[in-house]
């Protein structure tokens, strides 16, 4: 498995799937992860600034303590991402635009959420600390 520790990536368009890689304490700035598939990939304590994730397949992705800043995410099912056992999936989400994202059965208690044109609901069989979020446009401040 290829490992990157403390690396900085800027303006990269990842055009092919990312397979068997670990990123620890890396910074991604103005990078595109559009239409990608992540296969056995881990991001730990990484920061994404002004990046895009559009229709990416995140089923093979592990994340913990991730920071998303001014990042656009479209068509992502975050509930498929595996979080670390001791740390949350997201450390901070700020100034991001999310469209058609799914957060089913995820614990989002610690996030401050400001929404526009979003519907937040909790089905009867889901514990009170989780929510199913249906949205067309979503903005987290």
pLDDT of 14 > 90? The answer is no
Confidence of residue 124 (pLDDT cuts 50, 70, 90): low
3-state secondary structure at position 130: strand
pLDDT of 127 > 90? The answer is no
Both tokens assigned to 45: 């304590």
Q: What per-residue confidence (pLDDT) applies to 103?
A: 81
Which tens digit of pLDDT belongs to each residue from 61-77? 999 999 999 999 999 99
Which residue range is the domain that position 95 belongs to?
2-140
Averaged pLDDT, 86-90: 79
**What is the model's pTM?**
0.77
**121 within 8 A of 132, measured Cβ to Cβ:** yes
How many domains does the chain fold into? 1
pLDDT of 140 > 50? The answer is no
Confidence of residue 125 (pLDDT cuts 50, 70, 90): low
Q: Cα separation of 46 and 14, whole Å?
A: 16
**130 within 8 A of 106, measured Cβ to Cβ:** yes
Q: Cα separation of 25 and 44, whole Å?
A: 6
What's the mean per-residue pLDDT of the chain? 80
Q: Cα separation of 96 and 79, whole Å?
A: 18
Is the pLDDT higher at 10 or at 16?
Answer: 10
Averaged pLDDT, 108-125: 49
Q: What per-residue confidence (pLDDT) applies to 47?
A: 97
Q: What CATH number is attached to the domain comprising 115? A: 2.160.20.80
């Amino acid at each position: 498995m290829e490992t990157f520790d403390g690396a900085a990536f800027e303006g990269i368009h990842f055009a092919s799937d990312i397979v068997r890689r670990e990123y620890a304490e890396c910074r991604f700035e103005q990078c595109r992860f559009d239409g990608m598939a992540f296969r056995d990939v881990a991001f730990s304590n990484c920061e994404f600034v002004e990046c895009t994730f559009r229709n990416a397949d995140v089923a093979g992705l592990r994340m913990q303590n991730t920071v998303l800043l001014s990042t656009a995410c479209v068509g992502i099912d975050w509930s498929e991402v595996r979080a670390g056992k001791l740390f949350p999936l997201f450390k901070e989400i700020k100034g991001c635009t999310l469209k058609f994202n799914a957060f089913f059965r995820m614990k989002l208690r610690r996030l401050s959420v400001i929404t526009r044109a979003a519907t937040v609901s909790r089905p009867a069989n889901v514990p009170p600390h989780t929510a199913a979020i249906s949205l067309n446009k979503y903005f987290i401040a």
